[in-house]
Amino acid sequence: MTSADPGPVLEVDAIGMRFGGLVAVDSLSFTAERGQITALIGPNGAGKTTVFNCITGFYRPTSGEIRARHADGRVYPLHAMPGHRICEEANVARTFQNIRLFAGMSLLENLLVAQHNKLMRASSFTIGGLLGLPGFARAENEAVELAKHWLDRVGLLHRADHAAGDLPYGDQRRLEIARAMCTGPALLCLDEPAAGLNPRESRELNALLMSMRGENGLSLLLIEHDMGVVMEISDRIVVLDYGKKIAEGRPQEIRSNPAVIAAYLGVEDEEVEQVEREIRT
């Protein structure tokens, strides 16, 4: 046990993001706790993906600060770091709402690309690899083993040699999770991981994410519209509307929050509940 509490894994501190005259995110602050699942929800166009882009270096916020904290106490100012260092040094990885895999590469190759930096160092920047030095062979074996481990975890090991672009949509989403995990993240940011999954597949995703939560201290930040996922697995939920935080709390609190119901959830779908009761009796 460390003596001091290292604090939250992510602190978003009054960030703003403008595109010309459009204010996409407006002095937003929230934290993601270590070893927990934090969900970011809100209407379409509320600024959720923009927040992810600020955290992972795709955008530089117009104002405010974003800090990642490792368990050893080191702090990384994400708002001022280039994207590749955010992944490599601050250990923040992500998946994409509009899937961005290497479609022509195999599943295994996609996961090896995620470990490229590690392999480059092990090969002494190619030379060791060309000479076949044992250090590189070992590193390469480890990289393949890690890739296989994550392919297995997401249930895609049997398709390791298929092209990523040939996978159905839902499987591509799981492959993105595996690729992000191969970078060894402390914080994993998932942009709509359940989109395109049927209820049964969503439930399997829940089980996967719950098993990853806290494993080696992993923390998760999640954007998702599937309330069956959000309400089931989140420790905390942050709700955005028009770039501002309108609510924050535990799932039970959020579900009954009038502002969230008005802006996002809408009225409870009684009809569907009724059918559900009917077919169960």
Partner 1 sequence: MKDPLLKVRGLETFYGNVQALRGVDLDVMEGEIVTIIGANGAGKTTLMMTVCGTPRARAGQIHFDGRDITRLATHHIMRLRIAQSPEGRRIFPRMTVLENLQMGAILNPESERTFDEDLRRVFDLFPILERRQDQRGGTLSGGEQQMLAIARALMGRPKLLLLDEPSLGLAPMIVRQIFDVIRDLNRQQGLTVFLVEQNAYHALRLAHRGYVMVNGRITLSGSGEELLAREEIRTAYLEGGRH
Q: Which residues make up the interface to partner 1 (CB under 8 A)?
A: 19, 42-46, 48-49, 97-99, 166-171, 192, 195-203, 225-228, 264-266, 269, 271-273, 275-276, 279
164 three-class SS = helix
- Residue type at 8? P
d(CA 10, CA 76): 10
Q: How far is the CB of 175 from partner 1 (least distance, A)?
A: 12
Output the smallest distance, CB 122 to partner 1, in A.
35
DSSP label of 90 = S
Evaluate whether 50 touches 16 at the Cβ level (below 8 Å). Answer: no
By beta-carbon proximity to partner 1, the closer residue of 23 and 71 is 23
268/183 Cα distance (integer angstroms):
40
Cβ atoms of 196 and 101 closer than 8 Å: no
Q: Is 253 or 276 the residue whose CB approaches partner 1 more closely?
A: 276
Q: How far is the CB of 182 from partner 1 (least distance, A)?
A: 22
Q: Please identify, using beta-carbon distances, which residue of 1 and 277 lies nearer to partner 1.
A: 277
- Based on CB atoms, which residue is closest to partner 1, 215 or 273? 273
Give least dist CB 194 to partner 1, A. Answer: 9
Write down the residue that tokens 């569907």 correspond to.
Answer: 272
